[in-house]
Amino acid sequence: MKYSPTYTFTSPQVGVSLDLPDDYNYRREILSRLCENSKRWITVAMTRAPSEIRGLLEVSIIQYSNVYKAYQKLLSNHQIIELPGRI
């Protein structure tokens, strides 16, 4: 069986998935455009409804922060379990 990675990026919060091919340049171009358009959208939204967007961004950052902290805790616990095998 050939190695054939799947490049799928999913946001469960908004239900959006991006399926990208195995072409690095194409993926880079698509994700660069996505980033540029996202920044543009946030800029427009901030000028029209700054307090609402700021609140949404704060909630998203807090949720991401909690996920990141949980991941780091899981990672540190995993490393502690593997530590005796490294000595």
Residues 18 and 57 in one domain: no
| 41 in Cβ contact with 53 (< 8 Å) | no
DSSP state of 21: -
Residues 10 and 20 in one domain: yes
The predicted pLDDT at position 86 comes to 44
pLDDT in tens, 29-62: 988 998 899 889 888 988 898 888 888 878 877 7
DSSP state of 36: H
Residues 39 and 76 in one domain: no
- 50 half-sphere exposure, CB direction, 13 A CA radius: 1
Which has the closest alpha carbon to 5: 30, 22, 19, 24?
22
Q: With 60 as the cut, is the pLDDT of residue 3 above it?
A: yes
Range of the domain at 6: 1-48
